[in-house]
Amino acid sequence: MTVLHVRDFEIHPGYFSSVAQEQLVARLRECLEQAPLFQPVTPRGTPMSVRMSAAGQYGWISDRKGYRYEARHPSGQEWPPIPDALMTMWQDLVPDARLPECCLINWYDEAAKMGMHQDKDEADLSQPVVSVSLGDEALFRMGNQTRGGKTESVWLRSGDVVVMAGTARRAYHGIDRVRPQSSTLLPKGGRINLTLRVVT
């Protein structure tokens, strides 16, 4: 399989076949029955444009109290287990890493975006983050270890996987926009992004 390197980001185009994508979406629907999507607000109280849920021992929460990992969904329920296909992918792509403790599930509608940010709420930043894109294409922007400076962007398509390890683990990144109706995977359109992380 081909691998693209953009800075220290490792992109695996079409890692998941369309059949594997369909199966994964079916499993995610089961996860979301147990742990429904919710709309997080930033600590300042602004609603985020993505809707979120999670699987695994921990989910990531943002509300007026701040950003943090929690062992339970806002409903009080435990998060569902991380689907097997994602654990297998993790072991294939980052075999030396510890096992993931969180699979964050983000749902982007056609107007959603994600500002430039670092993922740094995890205790051990030597562990990678692996992201899976499903559904509509999204413009992914990759920056530097500090805010600002030159950036590079790529369109992520359904089935693509991005490994953020090494210097990319601490690099700023974000989603500028989603291209509506660019995939038929999700009947109502939109994009799902999964990010697997080691939390502790």
Which residues make up the interface to ligand MD6 (CB under 6 A)?
104, 106, 114, 119, 131, 133, 138, 140, 156, 173, 175, 193, 195
CA distances from 20 to 10, 31, 143, 157 (A): 21, 17, 30, 14
Stretch that binds Fe ion, among 10-18, 37-45, 48-56, 112-120 (CB under 5 A): 112-120
Q: 61 or 156: whose CB is closer to ligand MD6?
A: 156
Judged by CB under 5 A, which of 119, 122, 136, 137 binds Fe ion? Answer: 119
Among Fe ion, ligand MD6, none, what binds residue 193 when CB lies within 5 to 8 Å by partner kind?
Answer: ligand MD6
Identify the DSSP state of 170.
G
Q: 97 or 105: whose CB is closer to ligand MD6?
A: 105
Closest distance of CB 78 from ligand MD6, Å: 21
At 71, give phi and psi (nearest 5°): -80, -10
Among Fe ion, ligand MD6, none, what binds residue 102 when CB lies within 5 to 8 Å by partner kind?
Answer: none
Closest distance of CB 117 from ligand MD6, Å: 6
Strand positions, DSSP E, 82-189: 102-108, 114-117, 129-135, 138-142, 152-156, 161-164, 173-178
Task: State the burial class of residue 32 (Cβ atoms within 10 Å of its Cβ: 0-12, 13-18, 19+).
Answer: middle
The CA distance from 13 to 162, in Å, is 8
